[in-house]
Amino acid sequence: MQKITEKHLAEKAKDLLSQGKVSAVLGWRRGEFDYDVTPALFTDADEIENGLVYNCFCGANLSKYLVSKIRAVEGRMLVFLKPCDTYSINQLFTEHRVDREKVYIVGIPCNGMADITKIRNAVGEGITGVSGDECLRVETLYSDEPAELCLADVMSERCVNCKSKKHVAYDELLGDEGEVLDSHRFDEVERIERMSPDERFAFWQRELSRCIRCNACRDACPACTCEVCVFNNPASGVESKAPVNEFEEKMFHIIRAFHVAGRCTDCGECSRVCPQNIPLHLLNRKLIKDMNECYGEYQAGEAVGGVSPLTDYTAEDGEPGDLIRRRDTDA
């Protein structure tokens, strides 16, 4: 199997630009350090040569940027998407938020993305360099010898529990096609389900009371595509700039989880961007798991079009109440 590196991405981007097949390229730009990669739009070959990066810090899901960026570009926009990102773009196509004809998707392989917080916890402050892919060499200011870390040990939670290495949307692929994986992504949800109501309340109170209302979860979420959110509309009366009590944030996060239910592909951006490391994805996963159990297995973004469990009705649909009773009886 050919190993795909950022050089292949750069060649592909320059190639498609020079052929005029695309007029802009959405990828990731190198930062000050090895890990502070920023999503970026490239329009010329030199910029791509010098700036485009693809490493284990390219966690940002680029699909949502298409909603706004594509308008600024004449012609098609190339976007590099990892397998999990392609579920998001399919969902955006389904919801008519992005015009399929204006996008040229290059699917790229992903071995899992690193979580810099986990690396920092392992090696301490002062990270001056991170290189390698499956085995990371981390240089720090406070040690003469670089630390060696396995990517698997410092991977983001969403990658540890990767649901799919398969690209469900692309115009072309770099590397081989992967497969849908048998992940353990619902294990943590099950653990929380087994808690007593008091324990569960305490768990979420502890997590959500750290929320600082920065809205990064909402702004990064590819399913949250309203260009002006109701919470940014002073006329809505629900601007909610200050909590009534320290746990009021639960309302925001629970409502948001319901709002994206059936559309959330479980890409995990909400938890990646949270400055307080709140495991927000667990709320979404709980709803996905419940929908699977009530209405049959469903993966949002697996295909374009169709109806989701919450926009469809069949006589066989389970009742959420029955589900809870069944679970209680089993327990």
- Residue 65 interacts with other proteins (CB under 8 A)? yes
Piece of the chain touching other proteins by CB under 8 A; list 166-174, 192-200, 215-223, 302-310: 215-223
- Residue 228 interacts with other proteins (CB under 8 A)? yes
What is the closest distance, in whole angstroms, from the C-beta atom of residue 37 to other proteins in the complex? 6
- Residue 145 interacts with other proteins (CB under 8 A)? no
Alpha carbon separation from 12 to 82, 126, 186 (Å, rounded) = 15, 35, 37
Judged by CB, which is closer to other proteins: 233, or 323? 233
For the window 169-208, what string marks contact with other proteins as x by the rule CB under 8 A? -------------------------------------x--
Piece of the chain touching other proteins by CB under 8 A; list 176-184, 214-222, 285-293, 320-328: 214-222
Which position among 18, 50, 117, 131 is part of the footprint of other proteins (CB under 8 A)?
A: 117
Which position among 2, 20, 74, 242 is part of the footprint of other proteins (CB under 8 A)?
A: 242
Interacting residue ranges for other proteins, rule: CB under 8 A: 31-33, 35-41, 60, 65, 69, 117, 120-121, 124-128, 141-142, 206, 210, 212-216, 218-220, 228, 232-234, 239, 241-244, 272-273, 275-277
